[in-house]
Structure 1
Amino acid sequence: MSSLYDFATWEPLLRLLRTAHAERLAAPGGFVAGSIGRGWSSVVTRASGRREEFDAIERVREALTAAGVDDVSFVVEIPPSGKAVLHVFDPGPAVDAPLGNAHPGALTLVEGAVPEPWRRLPEPSPGARPAPSVDLALLERTLRERIPEAIGATEAEIAAAEERLGVALPEELKVLYRVTRARWEDWGEDYDVADRVFDAVGFELGSLDRLAVGDKWRPSFRWEQAATKAVQTLPDAAVQDLVDSPGWIVIGDSGGGDRVAVDLTPGPRGHLGQIIVLDHEQSIGACLFAESLTELVTGPERDWYGGHRRDKPPVTAMIHHQALRSVEAVAHPDLEVLQFGVWDEEPFSLAPVLGLPRLRTLTAYPGTLADPLEIGRLTGLEFLQLPPADWRVLLDVGAVPRSLAAAAITTRGDEDPRLVYALANELLALRDRPPVTETLIEGELGPLPA
């Protein structure tokens, strides 16, 4: 058996936890919970020496790596006698890692399922045309004047890139790479030459050999966050609001981690071949940077920052005590995401949103829903996040929606993770998904010194 499940692996950490939480652990039914991943932990030991805490946690991390496990949660009971009982939970492939506590992340009920925004493809733009500013001769002349020593790509190299990508490169991009193929080896590892290319084009140009379709560098999604997002391309948008597009050809970097791309699937008011920036901290959307490469190269310097996207009503709605205060106020045919936050008044009926054609995500804080069984009439839900009591109502009568692709359990932080994981396994069992495994480890720490 892996050392991950040896008492000796956990003993240094358990001793620190007992010292830090002695009063809580000594109380009847008292426990301490936490989670540890290969590069993070939610453990609080209050150890006087940070090295002591680091070494204790690292001991568990090394065992995680050896066992091929990404992360675990745990619950430990240590009564005054010193007999430690440790429950270790391995979430397995169907459950996301905890978010800062010991409770499970979202449960993927359908293998391989992704949230709707991640499935959205760009709308066709057959009428899109290059911008009036496109001037191939001016673009080439300007680039050759700025970087006369550059080595350009051959027609065969450009054709090979097109074949690899499966897309025809726009003419401006071909002109750019005919002037410089932007290979590091061509510059002899000379940073001054690289800087001149950066200055000439206005961004850190990637080599022709490294062109990529779509943005593979964006943050990976977590269901409980991604399911509450919505893509929403407005009629006056230059760029389609998407997670990714087969028409985004990534050609470089802003110098600050944001990707620069040529856009072949522009929005209603955009231009074919426009230059966009994909924020590395955002999972959805892109900002227009220039209407063409010609404008970017020959025009004035510009600010990379284009502002963060915002989900706009009526597509998403949050009801809580400091904002919207009624379901009627958000009931709109375009509503996709409905969230109930902190609320201390009478709970809500879902009646006003029953039958809405696009409602796919519902999340609720404890005590916000008057009748959880109304959820059964929301036939298009793909993601549902509820507190344990509301899930219990649905499970007891077999009313968990069959349409769900993923689910999550809302916790306030004080719930016993053992009960939450048991509930998670009930939900996973409905779809024959791999369960969370629980391993019981026992050992003696001895009584605390007087």
Structure 2
Amino acid sequence: MPSLHDVATWEPLLRLLLQDNAERLAAPDGYVAGRIGRGSWSVPVARPAPRPGRASLVSDMQSEWDAVGRVRDVLKESDVDDVSFVLKAPAPGKAQLHLFDRGPAVESGVGTHVGALALVEGAVPEPWRRLPDPSPDAVPAPTADTALLERTLRERLPRAIGATEEELAAAETRLGVTLPEELRALYRVTRARWEDLGEDYSAATRMAEAVGCELFAPDEVYVADAASRPAPWEHAAMDAVETRPDAAVQGLVGSPGWIVFGDTGGGDRIAVDLTPGPRGHLGQIIVMSHEENCGAGLVADSLTDMVLDRRPDEGRGAGREEQPPAVAWVNRRSIRSVAAAAHPGLEALSIGAWEEEPLSLEPLVGLPRLRSLTAYPGTLADPLEIARLDGLEFLELGPEEWRVLLDAGAVPRGLSAAAIEAQGRRNPLQVIELANEILTLWGRPPITRTVIEADLGPVA
């Protein structure tokens, strides 16, 4: 099989790109860009409209499918996740293909967008470093009843095969925690192995209905600490966690006391909580949404309650006085000034679409918890004000604002990660050069570029 850097790998796609983008490529400094991954791709080729009354078929775009497929096959063979490219055409029929390897210091972005730059190896945003507060006074809910739980499940699942003490002990050794008694009682009734169910989907459905979730086998149970819930810096830096005084569940990304034992059937995880909030119960059942980076919701005060379908008290937290948000968004449709967003508890500020005079960051100076700042290009009156913001760990700016900081030697050296907000048709080659300049300040591996030249002759 040819390598990723062979012309043969790319030739069919290059012909399509040259044919469908002739006008753009012929313009001064013209280029097109794209990305191909093992599971998806984004390439600028024309797709015919499907016939009225039906959806697009692979056959409608067979040439694109085949051309991209050749590259994807090489990615799989080379164990490479994805590749981004920029194509130039210095003369008719001639292709200059720039291929980029992000390397270990750059996260994957959307399309050809360069993701966040990891300036400190292994660093994670502050919410991912947050550990649960101690809860020494937490006790199980009065409704927790292992005998009732086990009896109910045996009535519902009379032919189930339970886990042995050796299997439960093996799970505890692997996890490094002692399984709560209710969870042990559940697994004594059923170990939820697919082969025990005769590989029968209807039997699996009956078990899920009996338990209240899609149950994991003991050797699939895991601890949902923060590391089990990774998120890209660009999103995670704009998250904040908080535990209210009247909360049943601690506001966390993850916890060494969250023991995941099931799924809702839609990707949300069900866990026993051994580190409850101030008004929670030891061993309560929580759910972690697959659509959110952090936090969890209360399902039941005990596993017994969940199996018996008894709902928790929904009145907890009522009447709490609202506090200013830890994450604020200044833009033309939300908060209308930096001063209105600033307060001592502010952790992250995003300045978005803005059509008025550029904004000063003066109201942010001295805020004790501010750690993340993102700003669209052209929204800052003086980018050098950023140098006065102590404690920033994440910064996202437009290329021009980064240029100001770099030229002045004013890039905050306390950053753990950075990102470049390159809107519109910004040439990726220029963005990558800027990204490498930032990476060099921290001695991090750069984005590497390989250029492939090809003379394809006349392109129809």
1:267 corresponds, among 274, 277, 289, to 277
**Pairing 1:330–2:341 present:** yes
Question: Hey, what's the Cα distance between the residues in 2 that align with 1:234 and 1:358?
Answer: 18
Pairing 1:404-423 to 2, within 5 Å after superposition: 404-423=415-434
Pairing 1:187-336 to 2, within 5 Å after superposition: 187-214=197-224, 220-299=230-309, 313-336=324-347
Corresponding residue for residue 46 of structure 1: 46
Question: Hey, what's the Cα distance between the residues in 1 that align with 2:6 and 2:441?
Answer: 32
**Pairing 1:119–2:129 present:** yes
- Cα distance change of structure 1 residues 160 and 32 upon mapping to structure 2, 3 Å threshold: closer
**Pairing 1:133–2:143 present:** yes
79-88 vs 214-223, greater mean Cα deviation: 214-223
**Pairing 1:93–2:126 present:** no
- Whether the 8 Å contact between 1:425 and 1:435 is mirrored in structure 2 is yes
Deviations 1:29-72 (A, max 9, x none): 21111122222222120044411001111222223334443222
- Whether the 8 Å contact between 1:240 and 1:265 is mirrored in structure 2 is yes
Deviations 1:321-350 (A, max 9, x none): 111111111111111101100111111111
The Cα of 1:223 is off from its aligned counterpart by 1.1
- Cα distance change of structure 1 residues 85 and 188 upon mapping to structure 2, 3 Å threshold: closer
Question: Hey, what's the Cα distance between the residues in 1 that align with 2:457 and 2:415?
Answer: 48
Corresponding residue for residue 175 of structure 1: 185
**Pairing 1:12–2:12 present:** yes
Question: Hey, what's the Cα distance between the residues in 2 that align with 1:323 and 1:366?
Answer: 18
Question: Hey, what's the Cα distance between the residues in 2 that align with 1:374 and 1:68?
Answer: 44
Given residue 41 of structure 1, which amino acid in structure 2 is its aligned partner?
W
1:82 corresponds, among 93, 96, 102, to 93
The Cα of 1:233 is off from its aligned counterpart by 2.0
Question: Hey, what's the Cα distance between the residues in 1 that align with 2:374 and 2:330?
Answer: 10
**Pairing 1:425–2:436 present:** yes
- Whether the 8 Å contact between 2:26 and 2:89 is mirrored in structure 1 is yes
117-126 vs 337-346, greater mean Cα deviation: 117-126
Tell me the C-alpha RMSD between the 2 structures.
2.3
Question: Hey, what's the Cα distance between the residues in 2 that align with 1:179 and 1:67?
Answer: 46
The Cα of 1:370 is off from its aligned counterpart by 0.8
The Cα of 1:131 is off from its aligned counterpart by 1.0
111-120 vs 64-73, greater mean Cα deviation: 64-73
Given residue 405 of structure 2, which amino acid in structure 1 is its aligned partner?
L
The Cα of 1:436 is off from its aligned counterpart by 0.8
Question: Hey, what's the Cα distance between the residues in 1 that align with 2:179 and 2:396?
Answer: 44
- Whether the 8 Å contact between 1:64 and 1:70 is mirrored in structure 2 is yes
**Pairing 1:24–2:35 present:** no
**Pairing 1:345–2:385 present:** no
Given residue 339 of structure 2, which amino acid in structure 1 is its aligned partner?
E
Unpaired runs of at least 5, structure 1: 303-310
Question: Hey, what's the Cα distance between the residues in 2 that align with 1:259 and 1:215?
Answer: 13
SS at match of 2:4: helix
Given residue 371 of structure 1, which amino acid in structure 2 is its aligned partner?
D
Given residue 187 of structure 1, which amino acid in structure 2 is its aligned partner?
L
Question: Hey, what's the Cα distance between the residues in 1 that align with 2:201 and 2:24?
Answer: 58
SS at match of 1:5: coil
The Cα of 1:215 is off from its aligned counterpart by 6.3
Which 4+ residue blocks in structure 1 deviate beyond 4 angstroms?
190-193, 215-219
Corresponding residue for residue 306 of structure 1: none
TM-score scaled by structure 1? 0.91
Given residue 399 of structure 1, which amino acid in structure 2 is its aligned partner?
A
- Cα distance change of structure 1 residues 361 and 52 upon mapping to structure 2, 3 Å threshold: same
180-189 vs 68-77, greater mean Cα deviation: 180-189
Question: Hey, what's the Cα distance between the residues in 1 that align with 2:19 and 2:205?
Answer: 56
Corresponding residue for residue 35 of structure 1: 35
1:159 corresponds, among 162, 166, 169, to 169
TM-score scaled by structure 2? 0.90
Question: Hey, what's the Cα distance between the residues in 2 that align with 1:73 and 1:188?
Answer: 46
Paired residues in the alignment total 440
Question: Hey, what's the Cα distance between the residues in 1 that align with 2:221 and 2:92?
Answer: 64
Deviations 1:87-132 (A, max 9, x none): 22211111112312x2311111111111222222111111211112
273-282 vs 401-410, greater mean Cα deviation: 273-282
- Whether the 8 Å contact between 1:103 and 1:421 is mirrored in structure 2 is no
Unpaired runs of at least 5, structure 2: 49-59, 313-321
Deviations 1:230-275 (A, max 9, x none): 1122222211122211101111122222221111011122111001
2:380 corresponds, among 349, 359, 369, to 369
The Cα of 1:382 is off from its aligned counterpart by 0.7
Deviations 1:402-426 (A, max 9, x none): 1111110001131111111000110
Question: Hey, what's the Cα distance between the residues in 1 that align with 2:273 and 2:179?
Answer: 11
The Cα of 1:218 is off from its aligned counterpart by 6.5
Question: Hey, what's the Cα distance between the residues in 2 that align with 1:444 and 1:44?
Answer: 20
Given residue 398 of structure 2, which amino acid in structure 1 is its aligned partner?
P
71-80 vs 354-363, greater mean Cα deviation: 71-80
- Whether the 8 Å contact between 1:336 and 1:359 is mirrored in structure 2 is yes
Deviations 1:191-235 (A, max 9, x none): 454444323222222223332222699664111111111112222
SS at match of 1:250: strand
185-194 vs 349-358, greater mean Cα deviation: 185-194
Given residue 239 of structure 1, which amino acid in structure 2 is its aligned partner?
V
Question: Hey, what's the Cα distance between the residues in 1 that align with 2:435 and 2:227?
Answer: 31
- Cα distance change of structure 1 residues 316 and 186 upon mapping to structure 2, 3 Å threshold: same
Question: Hey, what's the Cα distance between the residues in 2 that align with 1:192 and 1:5?
Answer: 50
- Whether the 8 Å contact between 2:393 and 2:416 is mirrored in structure 1 is yes
- Cα distance change of structure 1 residues 95 and 143 upon mapping to structure 2, 3 Å threshold: same
Question: Hey, what's the Cα distance between the residues in 1 that align with 2:169 and 2:91?
Answer: 74
The Cα of 1:182 is off from its aligned counterpart by 2.8
Given residue 223 of structure 1, which amino acid in structure 2 is its aligned partner?
W
